[in-house]
Amino acid sequence: MGTEELIARVIAAVDARRDEIVDIGRAIWAQPEIGFREFRTAALVADRMRALGLEPREGLAITGVRADMELGVPGPTVAILGELDGLPVPDHPAADPATGVAHACGHHAQVAQMLGVATALRAAAIEGHLAGRVAFIAVPAEEYVDLAWRTEQARAGRIEFLGGKPELLRLGVFDDVDMAMYIHASSDPDDRRLSVPAGSTGFVVKRSRFLGRAAHAAAAPDQGINALHAASLALTAMGMQRETFRDEDGVRVHSILTRGGDAVNVVPAEARLETQIRALSVGAMQDAIGAVDRSLRAGASALGAAVEIETLPGYLPLVQDPVMQRRFGRVARAVVGEEGWTTRPAFKASTDAGDLSQVLHLLHPSTGGFGGTIHGASFHVVDETAAYLDPTKALAGTVVDLLADDAAGAREVLAAAAPRMAKGDYLSFVRGLASVERFEG
């Protein structure tokens, strides 16, 4: 059977299982859970995998689940992912009343798509025509939230990294995976039904604590050291760095003041800032991190205060694999037509898909079918065909495209370029980003 006929068969299998796939999406939408604690969603995934005759491994990075579909002939491993987590948006109408967590980023649809691909490949009975293996991996904790709880888990040794994919990478769950794909929700009408963004930013977090000396703010300000003024100068210096950032690097530096003094008649002895630094490449990230560090030290220096700077690694920039993009684009156009397909500029938010994309071949397209504001109370599914079924068809069709004909497509991906970082280099790079510095101004 030719590749085109096989693709048509899996696409027809998605249509035949339409209700089943949509029901999974609805069920997960109705039970949103926070990252690393998606126990009910993980159980649902494992149950569905078992129902398809797969053998899930559970409890990976606390809640991750992986099951492999062997295709009979040895070959590359293609992973289809689904993110398990929601995020806190308490005023969302579908938020869990107890936790305030909602699927305001559309990850519920990814899990439905992942299980939909497994269902369609099984139903189309095409395993004998493909080479290699498909790994279905439900991944915890994409959203970088709930940091107090996660830091506590890290201190207790239950996780090392605060995001699910870095943690699964560390644990070796991706060691035998050659390439991975999954599709994110988009409510931007410009994105059409299926699209591929050029990439996304990586980021780090800086928590800085300026330390001065308290004194009466009116009677003896000369005897104090104003930590709020030091922090405020640091913010000004960061703002003045902006003209040095190149447009194409997509740098974003944004801060909040989380402590600015305790009483208005006391010179503030302590002020705290929290800053996120984002950029579209690892080099531009490092450059912007340097500019922020100099700004923080400059604020402390000018006032004679001290500053403690704690750096927490966030996520790395997302790089789309060009061969996978070309192959996915061809299948996607067959599913949604030329007018439903587009490519678009990089987005300025960040995802831990970026970490994966530095270590293996990755494609992370977007799908329409959603309305409202992402991460907002208005975010919801407006078109179930576009949100659940079109992306499932495009993913299942691309799996066939990659693994048919003795996996010629997947072999083309592997031959075109090696991933940017080996796993060991990735782990030492990310661990190297974590630091605590004290600077005496």
* Residue with Cβ nearer Zn ion (234 or 318): 318
**Interface with Zn ion: number of residues (CB under 5 A):** 1
**What is the x/- site pattern for Zn ion, positions 100-139, by CB under 5 A?**
-----x----------------------------------
Helix (H, G, I), strand (E, B) or coil at 60: strand
Of 105 and 292, CB closest to Zn ion: 105
CB of 156 to Zn ion, least distance (A): 26
| Residues 76-105, interacting with Zn ion (CB under 5 A) | 105
Residue 164 or 419: the one with the smaller Cβ distance to Zn ion is: 164
- Shortest distance, position 314 Cβ to Zn ion, whole Å: 13
| Residue number with CB closer to Zn ion (82 or 409) | 82
**Cα–Cα dist 117/46, whole Å:** 15
Q: Which one, 11 or 105, has the nearer CB to Zn ion?
A: 105
Q: Which one, 236 or 373, has the nearer CB to Zn ion?
A: 373
CB 112 within 8 A of CB 213: no
Cα four-point dihedral sign 240, 246, 248, 251? negative
Cβ closest to Zn ion, residue 210 vs residue 315: 315
Give yes or no for a contact between 367 and 386, defined as CB atoms under 8 angstroms apart: yes
Binding of Zn ion by 303 (CB under 5 A):
no
For the bound state, the minimum distance from the C-beta of residue 85 to Zn ion, rounded and expressed in Å, comes to 8
Q: How far is the CB of 319 from Zn ion (least distance, A)?
A: 18
Q: Which is nearer to Zn ion, 165 or 170 (CB)?
A: 165
DSSP-derived 3-state class of residue 276 = strand
What is the 3-class SS of 164-225, one letter each residue? HHHHHHHHCCCCCCCEEECCEECCCHHHCCEEEECEEEEEEEEEEEEECECCECCCCHHHCE
Q: Least Å distance between CB 34 and Zn ion? A: 12
Question: Please, what is the minimum distance in Å from the beta carbon of residue 106 to Zn ion?
Answer: 7
Q: Which pairs with CB-CB distance under 8 Å and at least 24 residues apart come from 412-419? A: 412/323, 413/76, 413/178, 413/179, 413/321, 413/323, 413/324, 413/327, 413/361, 414/76, 414/178, 414/179, 414/361, 416/322, 416/323, 419/358, 419/359, 419/360, 419/361
Give the Cα separation of 121 and 402 in Å (integer). Answer: 13
* Residues from 210 through 229 that contact Zn ion (CB under 5 A): none
**Cβ 252 to Zn ion, closest distance in Å?**
16
Cα separation, 213 vs 225, whole angstroms? 5
In DSSP notation, 102-143 reads E-TT-HHHHHHHHHHHHHHHHHTT-GGGBEEEEEEEEE---S
Give the shortest CB-80-to-Zn ion separation in angstroms: 16
Interaction site with Zn ion (CB under 5 A): 105
